[in-house]
Structure 1
Amino acid sequence: MKQGLISIISATILFTTSCKEHKEEKKEEIQFIVTSPIEIDTTFNKEYVCQLQSVQHIEIRALEKGYLQNIYVNEGQYVKKGQIMFQIMPLIYQAETQKSEAEVNFAKIEYQNTKQLADSNIVSKNELALAKAKLDKAKAELLLAKAHLSFTEIRAPFNGIIDRFNVRLGSLLNEGELLTTLADNSKMWGYFNVPEAEYLDYISLEKSANNAIVMLEMANHKVFDQKGEVETIEADFNNETGNIAFRATFPNPKRILRHGETGKILMPIILKNAVIIPQRATFDVLDKKFVYIVDASNTLKAKQITVSQEMPHLYVVASGLNAKDKILAEGLGKVKNNERIKYSFMPFAKELAELNNLHAE
């Protein structure tokens, strides 16, 4: 019986050893894909969160007090310059205007009578001058009364879109009370903050060129169909954030963009002799990025790299690699450091084409 047990144990050991050897052989038969970085001039879009503002966005307030008698427009309506929007009850102001007109007529008659007397040397020239001053005062008061009357009709100062009403028909308004806001969205300003180092890079690149052309990614992740232009940079940096504000202007002929909207400014950045690798060729250890370099003996060596920019499926490497290095392009989870592998080399151009196809899918 002992001899039979020994035979079973021996067979089990032989079977286990055989399976282990078979697995090792199978592992050695795996061929990994290896590629090399490419060094090219490229362009990528630097993203900045932005807030959009209308080129004209004002509060519409009552210039006179009184009851709101008429509302001629609706919320969200597009109005043209000079179009009447609200009317305050004008009766009091009409009466004041008529009173001022009567006072002007009275002052005219008084002036004419005084002038006839002055021409006949019956009254002094001072009396004539006093009558002329009373007439001028009456005319000025008439102009003021007409201005007050005109303020009862509140008209659009420019073409734009009306916002929500803050009052309702029949409301008793005080002088200066907010009625609504009006926005001209024909052009939009996009404000975004740029760190100091990137500001210096921008200034060095753009100082001898025209203003930078940028794009806008809207909240639905679609790119706005009109390109913008960086027109102004604020005078001072924010001491708390170390950023400075840029302003880009976008045409908005279809009035798609609205005041207060948010998005992302996409600013094209040109990189000279950029070293580019696929993202899937990297792995992370804590907060550092590594790649596996294949040496002359086909042995993997983990090497830390520094990434300067990130693009879809790609990294731009600032340090740690050059175009002559061979790196493991896939299967990083199946290997370990200092392990020898078998591989087939795939030129990066082909690798990049596959990544583009993957991105398109």
Structure 2
Amino acid sequence: MRQNAFLSLIKESILGILFISSVITLTFSNTASANQVVRFSTVAQQELQAHKRVTGTLKALSQTHIASAESGVITTVFVNEGDSVKAGQILLEIDTRKISAEKTRLEAELALSKAKHALAQAEFNLAEDDYIAYKHSANKNAISEQRLRQSKAAALSGQANVIAAHEAIKALQAQISIIDVRLGDMSIKAPFDGQITQRVAEPGQWLGAGDTSFTLTSLGKLEAWLDVPERLTHSLDIIPTQIGLNVGDEMLNSVNIKVLRNVDARARTFKVISQVQNSGLMPGMSVTAWLPEGAKSKYLTVPKDAIVQRGSNTLVYKVNTNGDKQMAEAIPVSVIFHQGNIAAISSHMLKPEDKVITEGNERLMPGPVFAVADDNKIKAL
């Protein structure tokens, strides 16, 4: 009996401790939630032009398949997939022994041609001096007219030999210049800064002229190639300065917008290209954008930062005031379109001047908050 009473006492003590811990935890949780600081902006009603959602693909600003200008056996490969390279960096080298030997032969021929040129110049100088002397003698009738003509012919022949020797030197120098270019092409270099995304060249492999050795993709800026329905052609008569893009859950702005005014006959779409900064994005990723469509109309607008995705639900957190208390309430909304740093929304539970949370809403749950006004104003870009 005493043992049972002792066990009952222990159980009651444990239950009491657990109850007290639960109360303390709940109290602490409520206090932490009540003290959570968030920022809010107000819902506005603005006259905006409706926007249509379109899709596209991110592409590298520059991407090239690096080909070889010369054929030969690859001796050394310096890079692998994933390596970052700088413009002008050597990626691989091809065996240069044959071309180097050809250059040595041409240099020897050039030296011989220069010697022949010097000889021709000396012979021409002698023939020219003889012709001048014979010409003076002919004026005094000291030599025959035939001898004078022979002397003139010898001088002209010597001059032609000098010109021929000079042109031979120029031809050999041009051939050596070509050889130097070919020797330079035996080292394949990166044409711009980027990353090696594909390598097909291996040491010992025969690389033909025009064969691809690497694929090089630029880093930094990307291009969004959007497929736009042809019915939006007239809406883009005035090209916007910015386009709002969505890549996954990330929202960003694009600039330097260009419209390719050529409609695909099969897809009935045309291309709109814009540049975006590569902030962790990769070529090939899908992208959505909002392009202007139709006339202006009035819409409820909130900052983009107020939009929260909870699975398949799109929410904003509204701040309700009851006396001194501020409570966060999750309000489902439908996003009609994005424009600049705002989103046009539809919701029967919101009206202009309502307060919506723009900072601290990522993991916020409905409940008490301490809301501070956000200094950023809502505006359409």
Decide whether aligned partners of structure 1 residues 201 and 70 sit closer, same or farther in structure 2, where only a CA change above 3 A counts: same
Q: Is the 8 A contact 1:230 1:246 kept in 2?
A: no
3-state SS of paired residue (1:164): strand
TM-score (norm. length: structure 2): 0.58
3-state SS of paired residue (1:163): strand
Residue 187 in 1 paired to residue 221 in 2?
Answer: yes
Q: Is the 8 A contact 2:46 2:298 kept in 1?
A: yes
Shift of 1:93: 1.4
Shift of 1:86: 0.6
Q: Which amino acid aligns with 1:222?
A: D
**1:20-57 Cα distance to aligned partner (Å, 9 max, x none):** xxxxxxxxxxxxxxxxxx98535776422111222221
Q: Is the 8 A contact 2:245 2:288 kept in 1?
A: yes
Shift of 1:140: 0.9
Q: 1:143 aligns with which of 177, 180, 188?
A: 177
3-state SS of paired residue (1:349): coil
Shift of 1:169: 1.5
Q: Which structure 2 residues correspond to residues 1-361 of structure 1 after superposition, within 5 A?
A: 41=47, 46-121=52-127, 123-203=157-237, 206=238, 211-218=240-247, 221-223=248-250, 227-229=253-255, 231-252=257-278, 254=279, 256-267=280-291, 272-274=296-298, 312-313=333-334, 348-349=350-351
Q: Is the 8 A contact 1:104 1:142 kept in 2?
A: no
Q: Is the 8 A contact 1:162 1:181 kept in 2?
A: yes
Output the CA distance in 1 between the equivalents of 2:336 and 2:282: 35
**1:171-227 Cα distance to aligned partner (Å, 9 max, x none):** 111111110111223221111122233231232xx36xxx33123322xx2215x52
Decide whether aligned partners of structure 1 residues 110 and 269 sit closer, same or farther in structure 2, where only a CA change above 3 A counts: same
3-state SS of paired residue (2:69): coil
3-state SS of paired residue (1:87): strand
Q: Which amino acid aligns with 2:244?
A: M
Output the CA distance in 2 between the equivalents of 1:314 and 1:96: 70
Decide whether aligned partners of structure 1 residues 133 and 189 sit closer, same or farther in structure 2, where only a CA change above 3 A counts: same
Q: Can you give the 5+ residue segments of structure 1 that lack an aligned partner in the other structure?
A: 1-37, 277-310, 317-328, 330-345
Decide whether aligned partners of structure 1 residues 347 and 110 sit closer, same or farther in structure 2, where only a CA change above 3 A counts: closer
TM-score (norm. length: structure 1): 0.61
Output the CA distance in 2 between the equivalents of 1:200 and 1:348: 33
Q: Is the 8 A contact 2:121 2:158 kept in 1?
A: no
Q: Is the 8 A contact 1:69 1:88 kept in 2?
A: yes
Q: Which amino acid aligns with 2:54?
A: Y
3-state SS of paired residue (1:192): strand
Output the CA distance in 2 between the equivalents of 1:270 and 1:223: 26
Shift of 1:262: 2.3
Q: Identity of aligned pairs, percent?
A: 18
Q: Which amino acid aligns with 2:105?
A: K
Q: Is the 8 A contact 1:61 1:180 kept in 2?
A: yes
Output the CA distance in 1 between the equivalents of 2:334 and 2:289: 21
Shift of 1:269: 7.1
Q: Is the 8 A contact 1:215 1:227 kept in 2?
A: yes
Output the CA distance in 2 between the equivalents of 1:150 and 1:71: 16
Decide whether aligned partners of structure 1 residues 184 and 348 sit closer, same or farther in structure 2, where only a CA change above 3 A counts: closer
**1:245-279 Cα distance to aligned partner (Å, 9 max, x none):** 11111133x5x333333222244779744477xxx
Q: Which amino acid aligns with 1:181?
A: T
Shift of 1:84: 0.6
Q: How many residues align?
A: 252
Q: Which amino acid aligns with 2:250?
A: V
